[in-house]
A and B are shown apart, each in its own frame.
Chain A
Amino acid sequence: MQSAKPIVLLAVFLLLPACVHVLTVGAQEAAPAPTAQAEGQVRWFDLNRLNIALVVAVFFILVLVFIRQAGKGASFFIRKIAGLDAIEEAIGRATEMGKPVLYVPGIDDVNNIQTIYSMVILGNVAKLVARYETPLIVPVCRAFVVPLAEETVKQGYLDSGHPEAYNPNNIRYLSDEQFAFTAGVDGIMLREKPAANLFLGSFFAESLVLAETGFSTGAIQIAGTANIHQLPFFVVACDYTLIGEEFFAATAYLSKEAKLVGTLKGSDWMKIFLIVALVVGAVLETFGVTAFTRWFTVQ
């Protein structure tokens, strides 16, 4: 039973606050109040931050355990994510109509993790597109993202056995300036009328302009970003939207890479822990017991 370990951890996670509380309170009562002299002594661990250390440690262990299991060949289930299944359908439709697919990897540089994840998704999209022999247009906003996008797409075409179909002219560096880039992408949508628009990455104020233009050309639109403030504009104008963590799950979903899937699983278990803690905390609070809540106080 592979889920036994997390349950043990959960028990530890919930019981530790009590034990630590008893211990530290006991210790404080036993020891005299800290004097100036005591404060002058060097300490190697800040006991006030024990709660954070524990929560982080438990989470680290969960993530590492599942990454290791995944590395050993264990496979984990990932729920259906409609927006990702729709990518293949959208590419299929573009092929039928003889129109290109547009992939915008956001406007942030490579130092943003979303841009990196967007490249992983782009690799998978490139594989699909190559199979259907549909053109894939990738406008890029940052000069340093260009070589990354080129390599990713080329590799995708290679993997699906159609290296000859790769067209370097379709990776287009438009401008570093946000609105100049937006105007450039708008131009592509209006002139070349892609049948599928994929907006996956870190987007800012340009999101509503892109989604609006795409909506007016009648393309199937799939968007995904972890920039929460831009989600409303994608939700109302796109057919599918990947919300926050769903965007990060996309890479695991599409690539099935062990360490990504394992991380997802570890993070799900941590959520269970937190939910249990939240329920316990709320119930205790309702009955006037505040010790559990106080243990979580950040000091």
Chain B
Amino acid sequence: MKKEVPLLITAIFGSFMVIDYFVPHPSVSAVGETLQQWAIIVISFSYVLGVANIARVNGEKISKRSRDWPFAIPLLMGLAFMLGVGIFGGIGERTLFNDFFLYAYTPMSGTMFSLLAFFIASAAFRSFRVRTLEAGLLAVAAVIVMLGRVPVGAEIWDKLPGIADWINNVPQMAAKRAILIGAALGAISTGLKIILGLERNYLGGE
């Protein structure tokens, strides 16, 4: 029951997704559609699980008074607030939920990522080292693309945007295609092994 049932479920759902693609028969499509609708619902529960986990971890943080525990209070309050106004007040335009999404969630998330502009500058100065020929090629391509993709490139040399376009569309594209093909082989063989039950690490230990 502990391993066999989940492996069987995996095999059924996995192989059906494959068969569904090759077999246009309506009876198969109907089953495929149902299974996909089921999957969407189960996946939505997994998000709720993730949130429940965050609440649990931070609740414990407060009760155990571990490091930074006072900050867990705004976290839980933010969670409860968004959940409350979202479920009872609706989520559309002109709701509190939408206000807090656009004026709290949005600026914080955007600013977190914009910090990376600063970090990338510091990393460029302190840890981008051209120690090998390979790193040199990387650096040259990076510089050409950085200049060629923005207006200043053409001001420096009017051929730069063209060269950057060529690099992107030709050598860089070829290497990325090799990575795509390699990754596709990896994903397909992993998928096969999962469906056949040869790969079962995802089920965790006993």
Judge A-B direct contact (beta carbons within 8 Å): yes
Name A's B-contacting residues (CB within 8 A).
Answer: 42-46, 49, 52-53, 56, 59-60, 63-64, 67, 110-111, 113, 116, 119-120, 143-144, 147-148, 151, 176, 178-179, 205, 208-209, 211-212, 215-216, 226, 228, 232-233, 235-237, 244-245, 248, 259, 263, 266-267, 270-271, 274
Residue of B26, B115, B202 touching A116 (CB-CB under 8 A): B202
Interface residues on B, range: 35 or more
Contact B185 A232 (CB under 8 A): no
Q: How far is the CA of A267 from the CA of B120 in the complex (A)?
A: 36
Q: Does B57 contact A (CB under 8 A)?
A: yes
Contact B119 A212 (CB under 8 A): yes
Tell yes or no: B106 within 8 A of A by CB. Answer: no
A232 lies within 8 A of B142 (CB):
yes
| B202 with A49: CB separation less than 8 A | no
The 9 closest A-B pairs by CB, nearest first: A215-B127, A237-B127, A212-B123, A212-B127, A236-B128, A208-B123, A245-B182, A267-B185, A116-B201
Cα A106 to Cα B179 in complex, Å, equals: 20
Cβ–Cβ contact B126 & A44, under 8 A = no
Q: Which residues of A contact B189 (CB under 8 A)?
A: 59, 63, 263, 266-267
**Stretch of B17-25, B87-95, B153-161 at the chain-chain interface:** B17-25
In the complex, which residue of chain A has the Cβ closest to the Cβ of B21? A49
The answer to whether A46 and B135 have CB atoms under 8 Å apart is no
How distant is A93 from chain B, measured CB to nearest CB, in Å? 18
* Residue contact A237 to B182, C-beta cutoff 8 Å: no
Partner of A179, one of B21, B112, B135, B188: B112
Nearest chain-B residue to A211 (Cβ)? B127
B31 contacts across to A, CB distance below 8 A: none
Closest to A226 in B: B183
**Complex: A228 Cα to B202 Cα, angstroms:** 23
| Interfacial residues, chain B to chain A (CB-CB below 8 A) | 21-26, 53-54, 57, 112-113, 115-116, 119-120, 122-123, 126-130, 134-135, 138-139, 142, 176, 179, 181-183, 185-186, 188-190, 192-193, 198-199, 201-202, 204-205
How far apart are the CA atoms of A16 and B112 in the complex, in Å? 54
Task: Summarize B's interface: helix, strand, loop or mixed.
Answer: helix
Known: A179-B112, A236-B138, A245-B183. 10 other contacts (CB 8 A): A43-B25, A60-B192, A63-B189, A63-B192, A111-B202, A176-B54, A205-B113, A205-B116, A237-B123, A274-B181
Q: Which residue of B lies closest to A60 (CB)?
A: B192
* Chain A, interface SS category: helix
- Chain A residues with CB under 8 A of B130: 236
Closest to B129 in A: A236
Determine whether the beta carbon of B185 is less than 8 Å from that of A270. yes
* Residue pair A53, B22 in contact (C-beta under 8 Å): yes
**CB-contact partner of A148 in B181, B185, B204, under 8 A:** B204
Q: From known contacts A208-B120, A212-B119, A215-B126, infer whether A248 and B186 are also in contact, taking CB-CB under 8 Å.
A: yes
28 CB < 8 A contacts A-B: A42-B26, A43-B25, A44-B25, A45-B24, A46-B24, A49-B22, A56-B188, A59-B185, A59-B188, A60-B192, A63-B193, A110-B204, A113-B190, A144-B53, A151-B205, A176-B57, A178-B112, A205-B116, A208-B116, A209-B123, A211-B123, A232-B138, A236-B127, A236-B128, A236-B129, A236-B130, A236-B139, A267-B185
Complex alpha-carbon distance, A43 and B22, angstroms = 10
Complex CA distance for A44 and B126, rounded to whole angstroms: 61
Residue pair B202, A110 in contact (C-beta under 8 Å): yes
Q: Which chain B residues lie closer than 8 Å to A148 at the CB level?
A: 204-205
Cα–Cα distance between A45 and B20 once the two chains are bound (Å): 10
Residues of A within 8 A of B21 (CB): 46, 49
Asked if B123 contacts A235 (CB within 8 A), the reply is no
Contacts of B201 in A (CB 8 A): 116, 119-120
Q: Which residues of chain B are within 8 angstroms of A120 by Cβ–Cβ distance? A: 201
Chain B residue contacts of A49, Cβ below 8 A: 21-22
A233 contacts across to B, CB distance below 8 A: 123
- A244 CA to B186 CA, complexed, in Å: 10
Given A151-B205, A237-B128, are A143 and B123 neighbors across the interface (CB < 8 Å)? no
